[in-house]
Amino acid sequence: MELAYYGGEFRDINEAVIPIDERGHQFGDGVYEFIRVYKGVPFSIERHLDRLERSAKAIFIELPVSRQELKDIIHQAMEKSTLKDADIYIQVTRGIAPRNHLFPDVPTQLALTIRHPRQTPEEAYEKGISTLLLEDERWANCYIKSLNLLPNLLAKQAAASKGCKEAILVKDGYITEGSSSNVFAIKDNVLFTTPATRKILSGITRANVLECAQEQAIQIREQNMTPSFLKDADEVFITSTSVGLLPVSKIDEVELPAFRPVTVALKHAYSLRTAGTKAYQ
């Protein structure tokens, strides 16, 4: 069963409602996290909650429950839904108040949903995906996992209109990240990715993949990459909680090599992590 939690209560997801004056609805005034559950264990939950706390602090929102209380709610959702593999979405907003740009003096609000996991076709992992380079038009604080995702949506839709699965964003001549992913390249057996600055959302999957690379003694360079560098790479892949590690076969009109030994090795290592989730909390 897919469930929603709001106002301290669990409901069937199709029966859940949010007040019209919810600032998440009115302004996108809040932050969120997305956690994947594998075999009854929320993967990297501590890292996700660390980032939720950082994001909330960055926009001056106090979480309405303690960390342990939130973990308890997550586990209640898993028990009540009976889902062993699931997507958990957590949203914290500044609260419910008549529309006004100034921060209201009201309690902050927590919403949570648990659903069946989104599935990426196996063909995408085998053949890779097409991507489109686009100008990064987002704000300056992309390290915050904010509800304000309109530029990301526009980029993703623009890519889809060209038959691509992801938009790879470019700012000031350098790759930042995907519209909903982090970007990696392999050149001469070295793993490259954009540094974790305010210009990107430092992904939880990104962190896990970097650790997988370290465990396999793969050289890592966190440095800015140009579009031409990416197109000339031996391998390119994206990462996110929803897709894990997904190879890229095409950037704009440039076809990338189909032989991806490093990508395959890292994907296997990451899969082992999610299969043994208790060791990676």
User: What is the structure's pLDDT at 219?
Assistant: 98
Task: For residues 118 and 140, give the distance between their C-alpha atoms in angstroms, rounded to a whole number.
Answer: 30
39 is a catalytic site residue: no
* Burial (Cβ within 10 Å: 0-12, 13-18, ≥19) of residue 102: exposed
Question: In angstroms, rounded to a whole number, what is the distance separating the alpha carbons of residues 210 and 221?
Answer: 10
Q: What is the pLDDT of residue 281?
A: 52
251-273 b/e (C-beta count within 10 Å ≥ 16 → b): beeeebeeebebbeebbebbeeb
Q: Residues of 136-150 as b/e, b for ≥16 C-beta within 10 angstroms?
A: bebeeebbbbbbebe
Collapsing DSSP to helix, strand or coil, 166 comes out as strand
Q: pTM higher than 0.85 for the full model?
A: yes
pLDDT digits (tens, 9 = 90+) for 173-210: 999 999 999 999 999 999 999 999 999 999 999 999 99
pLDDT at 99 over 90: yes
Pick the CATH number of 3-115 from 3.30.470.10, 2.30.30.830, 3.90.70.10, 3.90.1150.10: 3.30.470.10
What digits encode the pLDDT tens for the residues 43-72?
A: 999 999 999 999 999 999 999 999 999 999
Q: Where in the chain are the domains? A: 3-115, 122-279
Q: Is the pLDDT of residue 278 over 70?
A: no
Counting DSSP H helices and E strands in the chain, the numbers are 8, 15
Helix axes 261-275, 204-215, angle to 10 degrees: 110
pLDDT of residue 13: 97
Residue 216 is predicted with a pLDDT of 96
- Express each pLDDT in 220-231 by its tens digit: 999 999 999 999
* 114-135 residue pLDDT tens: 999 999 999 999 999 999 999 9
Q: Do domains 3-115 and 122-279 have the same CATH topology?
A: no
276 has a pLDDT exceeding 80: no
pLDDT, tens digit, for every residue of 139-183? 999 999 999 999 999 999 999 999 999 999 999 999 999 999 999
For β-strands 219-222 and 190-193, DSSP reports them as parallel
The 10 Å CB-count burial string (b at 16+, else e) for 10-23 is beeeeebebeeebb
**By three-state DSSP, how is residue 255 classified?**
strand
CATH superfamily of 122-279: D-amino Acid Aminotransferase, subunit A, domain 2 (3.20.10.10)
- Mean model confidence pLDDT for the chain: 97
Distance CA 38, CA 35 (A): 10
- Give the three-class secondary structure for 18: coil
Which among 145, 156, 165, 250 is annotated as catalytic? 145
pLDDT at position 277 is 54
pLDDT tens per residue, range 17-34:
999 999 999 999 999 999
